[in-house]
Amino acid sequence: MSEQTIVSPEEQPILESLVAIRNRLGVLKKDRNNYYKAADVVVVYEKVKKQVDQLLSVRQKEEHDYDEYHNRVDTVLDDVFQLLSLFWMALGKNRELPATYVQLVTMKQCLSNMELFGVYSQEDITAFSDRLQDIEGIIKQDKVLDTESPHQQHGLNLLVSKKLGQCQNLLNSLQGSLENMDNELVPTHKYLLDLSRELAIISARGNYDLNRVREIQDELREIDGSREEGKFVGKSGAVLTGQAQVVGLLERCYDMIHDIQASNEIVAESLKPIHERLEDIKIQLQKLVLTHRWTLRETDLWAYQIQLNEIDALRQDGYFYDEEKNIPEGQAVLNFLLQKCYRLVYHLLSSSEPIAEPLMPIHNQLITLRTCLLEVKKWGGPFTARELYPYQLKLASIDNLRIDGKFLDEDRNVPEGQAIVMSLLNECYDIVYELKACIDD
């Protein structure tokens, strides 16, 4: 057993506590009859903080590098904190430290795939960079709060900061590759990027236009033929910087073409179970993208995250191998589907509203009401008082749910998301007043 897999006697109690915490979170996650209570989740959070602080203390004594050392304690802790992070989002606490962890994990998976396959643009990097800056601000704010309350200092900030650093290092590497690329190579790189994405979409289809595939192949050969002695050169005859990335992308496009042409079934028999699993996950995630406002609990994403991690772990150097250690046909399809699923999970996490579960029904009713009112406004007046009455009645019924100006949960606590819901409520009132001005006397 290697040092990386050994759990020392000092860490064993921590591992047992974390396993118990993970089981507790699993039980909470399965309860679909009740809203999550902030008090229940905070109790678990405090226990996790205590275990992380103990872990850091043990590893400092054992002189282990926290960034490098890894055993089962770290694996279970990662599971626990991802789950806890999803619970935090379900409570509407999206702007607090715990909620950022699972987003960083998903971003790291997306960025790793971008680095592995070289399929990314400046727009992709900018989008991730903006989100990382936002998360960094949340982490810094948490550090400020820790400084103001020394007795509450904890190692979870270090855990999240470590994950943030990993994402930033990946992003810097991707950004560096683009910045080091000669301007004369940028159009070629962008064109190859467009072709690779088109090929990925073609690969994922059950049927495709073979003529278009041949056209793309001819375009790739034309680009390949523009090289001199295997190098892309500029107008001056000098070898352009950024060769590795562009040539790597060119070769990946060739591999995808070969993958498409080599098999009528698209995916080899040995890879079909993985393909079917990924297709099923993708379909379910796409449904959630359409219906998440009404049906999604952020903790539901945990099951998809686990499945994707299991499939990702089957790859070696970006390839899925069969039992004979051969590389079967269908690599492009599987890698495209895997990356697509990761992107869908990230989209669902990043589009999550900072609203606690008890407020979601009210939020959704106001969203629907606002949509209806805007449609009525678009068609224009004049209106009758009778026509506007149902909207006013619905608005009043929602407003009457407030107690002392707040929407409360069943325990009479004030859930997260008041400002967003109140903003929607006021917007609906404003539209109604505009419409009432058009009533035909």
Using one digit for the tens of pLDDT, what is the confidence trace for 66-102?
556 778 888 899 999 999 999 998 888 888 999 999 9
> Domain of 380?
357-438
Query: Mean of the pLDDT values across residues 338-364?
Result: 85
**How far, in Å, CA of 245 to CA of 192, rounded?**
11
Stronger pLDDT, 205 or 350, i.e. the higher one: 350
Is the per-residue pLDDT at 152 higher than 50? no
Average pLDDT, the chain: 84
pLDDT at 65: 59
Is the per-residue pLDDT at 231 higher than 60? yes
| 170 close to 118: Cβ distance less than 8 angstroms | no
Residues 144 and 230 in one domain: no
Is the per-residue pLDDT at 170 higher than 90? yes
Residues 206 and 141 in one domain: no
Q: For residue 351, list its beta bridge partners.
A: none
Residues 157 and 187 in one domain: no
Residues 175 and 26 in one domain: yes
Give φ, ψ of 64 to 5 degrees: -90, 140
Is the per-residue pLDDT at 29 higher than 80? yes
Confidence of residue 153 (pLDDT cuts 50, 70, 90): very low
Q: Which of 139, 129, 137 is nearest to 163 (CA)?
A: 139
Contacts of 269 (CB under 8 A, 6+ apart): 328
Domain boundary among 195, 229, 264: 264
Is the per-residue pLDDT at 308 higher than 70? yes
Query: Mean of the pLDDT values across residues 139-147?
Result: 70
Burial class of 175 by CB neighbour count within 10 A (0 to 12, 13 to 18, 19+): middle
Q: Name the token pair of 27.
A: 């039980």
Q: Name the token pair of 411.
A: 């325990």
| 107 close to 346: Cβ distance less than 8 angstroms | yes
Q: Which of 318, 316, 339, 355 is nearest to 107 (CA)?
A: 339
Residues 28 and 95 in one domain: yes
Is the per-residue pLDDT at 290 higher than 50? yes
- As a whole-number percent, the residues of the chain with pLDDT over 70 amount to 90
How many independent structural domains does the chain possess?
Answer: 3
Residues 126 and 190 in one domain: no
Q: Is residue 270 part of a domain?
A: no
* 36 CB neighbour count, 10 Å cutoff: 20
Confidence of residue 171 (pLDDT cuts 50, 70, 90): very high
Domain boundary among 240, 264, 288: 264
- As a whole-number percent, the residues of the chain with pLDDT over 90 amount to 19
Model confidence pTM above 0.75: no
Q: Which of 256, 265, 279, 120 is nearest to 199 (CA)?
A: 256
Is the per-residue pLDDT at 177 higher than 70? yes
Contacts of 29 (CB under 8 A, 6+ apart): 83, 87, 299, 302
Is the per-residue pLDDT at 4 higher than 60? no
Is the per-residue pLDDT at 165 higher than 90? yes
Chain segment 194-211, per-residue pLDDT in tens: 898 888 888 766 567 778
**How far, in Å, CA of 229 to CA of 245, rounded?**
17
Residue with tokens 């080091």: 180
Residues 77 and 123 in one domain: yes
pLDDT at 167: 94
pLDDT at 44: 92
pLDDT at 151: 44
Residues 377 and 416 in one domain: yes
Query: Mean of the pLDDT values across residues 248-269?
Result: 74
Query: Mean of the pLDDT values across residues 409-432?
Result: 86
